[in-house]
Chain A
Amino acid sequence: MEDELAISVRGLRKAYGDNVAVAGVDLDVRRGEVFALLGPNGAGKTTTVEILEGYRQRDAGEVSVLGSDPGLVLGSRPRGSRGSSRTPRRGAADWRSRVGIVLQGTGEFDELTVAEVVRHFSGFYPEADDPDRVVERVGLGAKANARTHTLSGGQKRRLDVALGIIGRPELLFLDEPTTGFDPEARREFWELIRDLAAAGTTIVLTTHYLDEAESLADRVGVIAAGRVIEVAPPNLLGNRQDALATVSWRTPDGTPETAQSATPTALVAELAARFGGEVPGLTVTRPTLEDVYLSMIGH
């Protein structure tokens, strides 16, 4: 059973001084799924993800990522405690080589070119992908020989993704990957993520774009004030499908009318009968993901 899960988190807590960033998060991510952590800024998304990535130490809770506790496998005890046996450090390298990370900020390598950076990072991984192909794949083929500081924001983000996937990770973390992208770049990026997911990579992404979560994620976890409020496939979030439908139309004198209904089909049939055919300005809607999300996080 445990092996089916790429990530398992129970009762995760993390505070910075008096500020509780993560207040008891429980989370399961299955192998091969695309999981989106959705939440407003400051909800604890990045802190949670950085604990899973092994960048931060938690205060409490159980964490398992690809079968290991990142805090233990990386041996992130205070410096100076040199591991006497080789096993823990080899374990750290193995674990690291199975996990791909795209951090929130972009890292600039200043005077190096895209191809040089990707090639260099490929040397850290035992089963690295071909650097040229990865550069091509993230859409930087034309920029392969450009210095990284000359790239646009979106291109830098693609470089980040290239470095995240160069080691052919089993699990890929993406922290707000498309912030600052134009719509076209975002669509292309989504395609790349779908490709990776289709090839079996488990993907955990944080985002505050609802359309991104809706179009990419198998399941969405909504996080607010350091807690996971709900985990569900995007179309089922907040009982969206069972929510009342909103039916709107115009009366003969042109006044807009709306009604909430659990049986919108019956209502539309009744309206059709009343108008004797076409109902002017008829729309039937269910709450959008945005509506559900905003009500969940308390707006």
Chain B
Amino acid sequence: MTTTTRPGNPVAAGSRRLGPGALALRQGRLEITQFLRSRESVVFTMGFPIIMILIFASIFDGTIGGGVKFTQYFITGMIATGLMTVSFQNLGIWIPIERDRGVLKRYRGTPMPKWVWFAGKVIMVVAIGVAETALLLAVAVALFDLDLPATAAKWFTFGWVAVLGVTACTLCGIAISSLARTARSGSAVVTPVSLVLQFISGVFFVFTDLPTWMQQVAALFPLKWMCQGLRAVFLPESFGAQEPGGSFELGRVALVLALWCVIGLVLCLTTFRWTTKRDG
């Protein structure tokens, strides 16, 4: 039995090159499997926002005026944090580990088109992000009487804010992964960034209670705009007047998030490395 392909003597089994769609899907499935089998990932990425909503909704069980429950406010921060964790934090921590272990280098040595690897990450982020958000909403509805968006328009807003936000955070997560020199430094680079953003973007506090300068700094980054866009979904229209801009500014939300998608993409294309620095 021959084990190599000689030119002009094709193997009887015949060639079965997988199409791009199939390649991307199986890469995504592999990434999801890897994620779900890693207990830390599941606990910290999926569990953290749920633990936070349990704590917050239990502490602040009152209303924020107009008979609107505090939960309606905090759920927006938790959803946004969850989406950022699964995309930005997850990729920013795991890609350096895979790079350090030579997993990326190994993929580069196969005929796999480069984009398939990125597609696998995106599929994983989207699948985990959807599952986590659904779980978060289910917990909040079951335990804290969260009111889900009532109109199709609000669900639509929910959809595009989530998609743009996750896209921006995914690209930034891939980009920031190149800053880490070793496997271990990924989390040291990413965790402070996301923690600071959570504090200044109105995840743990009501955004307008924060000092003005802090609000202005937060407005430079995507998380604040993700939270604001989600507030338009989970709070009554009238609450828009309490936002810094006097309304939920959905146009600006879209613009800033789209801008971050572009920035993230440019950073990815210019800085992404398949190998570690010491590896050339």
Q: Collect the chain A residues with CB atoms within 8 Å of residue B181's CB.
A: none
| Residues 66-114 of B at the A interface (beta carbon under 8 Å) | 101-103, 105-106, 108-113
Q: Collect the chain A residues with CB atoms within 8 Å of residue B105's CB.
A: 55, 103, 107
Q: Collect the chain A residues with CB atoms within 8 Å of residue B111's CB.
A: 92-94, 96-97, 124-126, 167
Bound CA–CA A111/B280 (angstroms) = 27
Q: Do A108 and B11 touch across chains, with their CB atoms under 8 A apart?
A: no
Answer yes or no: A187 CB below 8 A from chain B CBs: no
Q: Do A103 and B3 touch across chains, with their CB atoms under 8 A apart?
A: no
A: number of interface residues (CB 8 Å): 46
> Could you say which interface size class chain B belongs to?
35 or more
Bound CA–CA A116/B31 (angstroms) = 12
Answer yes or no: B18 CB below 8 A from chain A CBs: yes
Answer yes or no: A214 CB below 8 A from chain B CBs: no
Q: Do B11 and A127 touch across chains, with their CB atoms under 8 A apart?
A: yes
Known contacts being A79-B272, A94-B111, is A105 close to B3, with CB within 8 Å? no
Answer yes or no: B2 CB below 8 A from chain A CBs: yes
Secondary structure call for the B interface:
loop
Answer yes or no: B208 CB below 8 A from chain A CBs: no
A103 to chain B, nearest CB (A): 6
Bound CA–CA A53/B110 (angstroms) = 11
Stretch at the interface among B33-41, B130-138, B241-249: B33-41
One digit per residue, 1 when the CB lies within 8 angstroms of any chain A CB and 0 when it does not, for chain B 3-25 equals 11111001101111110001100
Known contacts being A50-B280, A123-B23, is A101 close to B4, with CB within 8 Å? no
Q: Collect the chain A residues with CB atoms within 8 Å of residue B238's CB.
A: none
Select which of B15, B26, B275 is within 8 A of A127 by beta carbon: B15
Q: Do A124 and B112 touch across chains, with their CB atoms under 8 A apart?
A: yes
Bound CA–CA A54/B269 (angstroms) = 20
B141 to chain A, nearest CB (A): 32
Q: Collect the chain A residues with CB atoms within 8 Å of residue B272's CB.
A: 79
Q: Do B4 and A123 touch across chains, with their CB atoms under 8 A apart?
A: no
Stretch at the interface among A196-204, A227-235, A260-268, A271-279: A196-204
Q: Do B109 and A121 touch across chains, with their CB atoms under 8 A apart?
A: no
Q: Do A196 and B3 touch across chains, with their CB atoms under 8 A apart?
A: yes
Q: Do A112 and B33 touch across chains, with their CB atoms under 8 A apart?
A: yes
Answer yes or no: A212 CB below 8 A from chain B CBs: no
| Residues 130-164 of A at the B interface (beta carbon under 8 Å) | 163
Interchain Cβ contacts under 8 Å between A and B, 25 examples = A50-B280, A55-B105, A56-B280, A80-B270, A89-B113, A93-B113, A99-B109, A103-B106, A106-B102, A107-B102, A110-B34, A110-B38, A110-B101, A111-B33, A111-B37, A111-B38, A112-B33, A116-B30, A120-B30, A121-B110, A123-B22, A123-B23, A125-B110, A126-B16, A126-B17
Task: Please list the residues of chain B having a beta carbon within 8 angstroms of any beta carbon in chain A.
Answer: 2-7, 10-11, 13-18, 22-23, 26, 30, 33-34, 37-38, 101-103, 105-106, 108-113, 269-270, 272, 275, 280
